Amino acid sequence: MAKTWDEINARIAAGEAVVVTAEEFAEIAAAEGIPAAAKRVDVVTTGTFGPMCSSGAVLNFGHSDPPIRMGEITLNDVEAYGGMAAVDTYIGVTQPSRFKGIEYGGAHVIEDLLSGKSVRLRATSTGTDCYPRTDIDTWVTLADLNQAYFFNPRNAYQNYAVAVNSGDRSLNTYLGTILPRLGNATYCSAGALSPLLNDPTYRTIGVGSRIFVAGAAGYIAWEGTQHNPNQKRDEHGVPVGPAGTLAVIADLKHASTEFFSAATFTGYGTSAFVGIGVPIPVLDEQIAATLALTDADLTATIYDYGVQRRSRPSLGQVTYAQLRSGQIEIDGKKIPTGPISSLPKARRIAQELKRWIAEERMELTRPLQPLPQPGSQGVKPLEVRTEEAI
Amino acid sequence: MPRKRFDLRFPPQQATKPVVYNLVKDFNLVPNILRALIQPGQEGRMLLELTGRKEDFEAGVAFLEKEGILVHPAATDIRLDEDACVLCGLCTAVCRPGALTLDADGALLFDKDKCVYCEACVVACPRRAVTLSF
C-alpha cells in the first residue's frame, strides 16, 4: 500500500503521524512483517555522529569603523579563508592552530563559538580607498555575527571502510591508531541508523531535504564531494564501501555542542564530529525493505591501510553486527574492533529528529532535485601530469 | 609489602642491559613487567611494577639511574571526563589489555584492574577526555 508525501505531511500536521527510528522500525518489521510495518509507520528517522573532515562554517563579522577588507584572517590563531568579500570568511574544521597545531583547530573554534565563548579575531589588509584599515584585533561571539552557518561539503558518508594494518608499525590515521600486524580494526558508520544506508538509492533524500545538522534544522544543499553512487552494492542494493555523500547547510546559531564536537587524531590532524539525521518517509514496501535492514544485513569492506597507496587491498567483508561484537576474524586471526562513530549519539539524534516530527510537527520536504543516481557517475582519480603532457 | 609502578626509558645504548635480573638479585624487588618495548639500538620503554621494601625501592631506583635509565613514577590513576567524551569508542580499539570496552548499547565500560596505564587511550582519544594522574 503506497503513501504519498502529501498524505504523510498531512498526518504530521495533524499530529497523527507514526514516527519511529530505523532501529525501532526494524523491530516492528521483524515482528509484524514488512507490509504491515510499511502501512502503519509514516516516517523513519536516522542518525549518525562521526568525524566529518569536510565541514566548516561561513561567517560574516560586520564592518568596523573605519572598515577593513580582511585579507589574512585568524580566529584564536586558526587561519580562516580571506578570499571572499571584505568581512566574509570560511573556517574549515581541519585547519590547525598556528601555535597549538592540531590540538586546537578550526573545529575547536566552531565549538567555542557554539558554547558562547568569545573568540579572538585578527586580520590584516593592504588597505584600499574604500577599506582604509590595515589591521584589526578584536573579540567576537556567535551572537555578534551577522550570519554564521555550516556549509559542510561532505557529510554522512554512505558506508565506510574498515581499517586494518598488515605493516609492522602503528599508523596514525583519520580512522584512529591502527595497530601493526592486524592488531585491531577500526570502523566508522552508524550502520543500521546511518541515513544513506536506509535509502540506498536516494529515492527520498535529495537536494532540498530538510534534515538535522548538529542540532539545527538544516538542508541538503547538494550532492557531497566524492559522491560515488557507483560503488559496488549488495543484494539489497546497499553499497559495501564508501559511496554517496551529502553537502549540508544549517544555521550555527541554532546548533548545539551536544551534536558538534571538535576532534584531534594524534599524528593525523583536527576534525569534527558532526551529528546528521535524515527523516525518511515510508512511501511503500520497497523502501520499507531497506529501512528494515539491521546491522546483521549491512556489510563493510576491510582495507589494509598498511599499503599506503590510493587503492588499498581489500581483505574481505564483514557485517556491522560482527564489527559491533568487538571482534572480527581475518584468515583465522581474531582481531579486536573499535568504532569511531558514536552509537549512543546516533540514537540520540534519531530520537531527537523523531521528536521534531512527531511533537513539533516538522514536515518533510520532498527533494527539489535528486542526488546523482547509481550508474550516473563515479569518482575520478587525480593524475599527476607535467605541462608537456597536457 | 608496598607496590609501585615505574615508567622506565632506556637510551639506545642501554636498551639491552638485563637490569631486571639485578633488581631481583641485588635489591630483593619482585618485578612484574606490564609492558615493554626494547629493541637493540633504539630507545626502549618499560612499564614495571615492583614489590618490595621502601629502602630496596630507593636503592633499586638509584641503581637504574646509575645505569643511565630514566625512571619516572608511572600513572596511578586514569580519569575520563564524561562531559568531553562523545562515546565514539575509539579508545576501545587501542586498549590491548581490554580494560576499555563497549557494552551492547555503546556505553563505555572501564575495568581498572585490567588497565596497565600504557596511555594508548590518552593518545587515541580524539576528545582528549582521558587523562592520567601520577
SS (H, E, C) B23-65: HHHHHCCEEEEEEEECCCCCCEEEEEEEECCHHHHHHHHHHHH
User: For residue range A160-201, what is the model confidence (pLDDT) as tens digits?
Assistant: 999 999 999 999 999 999 999 999 999 999 999 999 999 999
Best of B39, B86, B119 to disrupt the A interface by mutation (most A CBs within 10 Å)? B86
User: For residue range B92-103, what is the model confidence (pLDDT) as tens digits?
Assistant: 999 998 999 999
B107 lies within 8 A of chain A by CB: yes
Neighbours of A321 (CB within 10 A): 15
The whole-number average pLDDT for the span A337-355 is 97
Best of B37, B94, B130 to disrupt the A interface by mutation (most A CBs within 10 Å)? B94
Share of chain A above pLDDT 70, in %: 100
B82 lies within 8 A of chain A by CB: no
User: For residue range A222-240, what is the model confidence (pLDDT) as tens digits?
Assistant: 999 999 999 999 999 999 9
What's the pLDDT band for B40 if we cut at 50, 70, 90? Answer: confident
Q: In what order do the strands lie in the sheet with A19-21?
A: A19-21, A43-45, A279-281
B124 lies within 8 A of chain A by CB: yes
Greatest Cα pair distance in chain B: 51
The whole-number average pLDDT for the span A24-45 is 98
Cell numbers found for residue A155: 557529510
Residue A342 and residue B105: Cα distance in Å, rounded?
10
CB contact under 8 Å between A179 and B94, yes or no, is yes
- Predicted ipTM of the assembly: 0.93
For residue A324, the chain B residues in CB contact (below 8 A) are: 104
- Chain A contacts in chain B segment 27-56 (CB below 8 A): none
- Which CA distances in Å does A332 have to A144, A192, A327, A328? 58, 27, 12, 9
The pLDDT of residue B15 is above 70: no
Per-residue pLDDT at B132? 81
Between A37 and B79, where is the model more confident?
A37
B94 lies within 8 A of chain A by CB: yes
Between A293 and B57, where is the model more confident?
A293
B59 lies within 8 A of chain A by CB: no
Residue B41 and residue A107: Cα distance in Å, rounded?
40
Between A283 and A311, where is the model more confident?
A283
What is the 3 state secondary structure string of chain A?
CCCCHHHHHHHHHCCCCCEEEHHHHHHHHHHHCHHHHHHHCCEEECCEEEECCECEEEEECCCCCCCCCCCEEEECCEEEECCCCCCEEEEECCCEECCCEEEEEHHHHHHHHHCCCCEEEEEECCCCCCCCCCEEEEEECHHHCCEEEEEEEEECCCCCCEEECCCCCCEEECCEEECCCCCCEEECCCHHHCHHHHCCCCCCCEECCEEEECCEEEEEEEECCCCCCCCCECCCCCECCCCCCEEEEEEHHHCCCCCEEEEEECCCEEEEEEEEECEEECCCHHHHHHHCCCCCCCEEEEEECCCCCCCCCEEEEEEHHHHHCCEEEECCEEEEEEECCCHHHHHHHHHHHHHHHHCCCCCCCCCCEECCCCCCCCCCCCCCCCHHHC
Placement of cell 582495507 in the chain: A303
For residue A176, the chain B residues in CB contact (below 8 A) are: 90, 93-94, 124, 126
The pLDDT of residue A157 is above 90: yes
CB contact under 8 Å between B88 and A337, yes or no, is no
Q: What's the fold here for domain B3-73?
A: Alpha-Beta Plaits (3.30.70)
Among A14-23, A62-71, A245-254, B107-116, which stretch is predicted with the lowest mean pLDDT?
A: B107-116
Per-residue pLDDT at A186? 97
B2 Cβ contact partners less than 8 Å away, ≥ 6 residues apart: B51, B52, B53, B54, B57
For chain A, give the mean pLDDT. Answer: 96
The pLDDT of residue B34 is above 90: no
Between B133 and A90, where is the model more confident?
A90
* Residues paired with B32 in a beta bridge: B49
Q: Which one of B88, B127, B128 has the shortest CB-CB distance to A339?
A: B88
Active-site option among A130, A384, A389, A390 = A130
The shortest C-alpha distance from B8 to chain A (Å) reads 21
Under 8 Å CB pairs connecting chains A and B tally to 80
Determine if the peptide bond prior to A239 is cis (ω within 30°). no
Q: Which one of B88, B91, B101 has the shortest CB-CB distance to A342?
A: B88
CA-based nearest residue to A256, from A98, A131, A153, A142? A142
Catalytic site includes residue A188: no
Per-residue pLDDT at B134? 60
Between B11 and A328, where is the model more confident?
A328
- The dihedral of CA A239, A240, A245, A251: what is its sign? positive
List the single residue in B with minimal CA-CA distance to A184.
B93
A109 Cβ contact partners less than 8 Å away, ≥ 6 residues apart: A75, A76, A78, A91, A119
The whole-number average pLDDT for the span A360-389 is 93
Domain boundaries, chain B: 3-73, 77-133
For residue A186, the chain B residues in CB contact (below 8 A) are: 90, 93
Q: What's the fold here for domain B77-133?
A: Alpha-Beta Plaits (3.30.70)
What's the pLDDT band for A318 if we cut at 50, 70, 90? Answer: very high
Same fold, B3-73 and B77-133: yes
User: For residue range B48-85, what is the model confidence (pLDDT) as tens digits?
Assistant: 888 999 889 889 999 999 988 989 888 767 889 999 99
